A and B are shown apart, each in its own frame.
Chain A
Amino acid sequence: MPNHHDVGGLPAGPIDRHEHRFNSFERHIDALCLMMCSPPVKKVAVEELRRAKEEMFDGPFLKANYYQRWAIGLRAVLVEKGVLGEAEIDARIAALKTGRS
C-alpha cells in the first residue's frame, strides 16, 4: 500500500497556521462527497474515497491541494463503481468549458 498519507512521526517543519475561508468549489466538493457517503444516498463509503486517494499519489494528484484531491478521488470511485462513466464526465466538462468561453 502506498503510505505517503501515513505521516505520523515523520520529520516536518513549522505548522502554517493561516486560516482561510472556504470557497465555493471547496464547499461544493465537500458537500458532494458527504452526500455520496451518507444516508440516504450512500453510494460510496468514505473508506473507498480514502483508498482511491491513497492509490493515486502521482501525476496531477501530487500537484493537487486538499479539496482538489477529494474531487479526483470521488471521480475515480464513481467511475470504478459504475455510478458515472469516464466518457460522460469528460463530455460534460467539455460542454461546461464551451459554455463558459
Chain B
Amino acid sequence: MSAQSKFALGARVRVRSDDPPHHHRTPRFTRGQVGTVARQHGVMPLPEDLAYGRTSGQGAPIYRVHFRQKDLWPDYAGPDGDIVSADLHEHWLEPAP
C-alpha cells in the first residue's frame, strides 16, 4: 500500500490553501500549514467523490499529518511538543522544505 504513497513517513508536507466550492474534509485550520507525515493509511476513497454519489472512484493515498501547535497558532500557550493531527488525502498535500 505504502508503495503507492508519494510521501514517506517523516516527510514535511504543506497543505494546499485551496478553498474549493465542493465538499471536502480538509479543515481550514490546516490549510496552508506545514506538517509531518506520521502515518500512511494506504488508499481510501475521496470524500470529494462520495459526497456526490460517485462511488467508482479509485481513491487516493491518505496520511496522518502532525502539525505543531506553535506552527498553527503563533500565540499557543503550551509547550513546543504539542501536536494536532489530521487525516488528509494526497492531493491536498505538496512537498515542503
Contacts and interface: CB of A to CB of B under 8 A. Distances in A.
A47 B44 CA distance: 13
- Chain B binding surface SS class: loop
A45 interface: yes
A81 interface: yes
Contacts of A46: 50
Contact of A6 (B20, B28, B52, B72): B28
Contacts of A48: 50-53
Chain B's interface size range is 10 to 19
A3 interface: yes
A1 interface: yes
Interface of A: 1, 3, 6, 8-9, 45-48, 50-51, 54, 81
Interface of B: 19-24, 27-29, 47, 50-53, 55, 72-73
| 9 interchain residue pairs of minimum CB distance | A47-B50, A51-B51, A51-B23, A47-B51, A9-B29, A45-B50, A8-B29, A47-B47, A8-B27
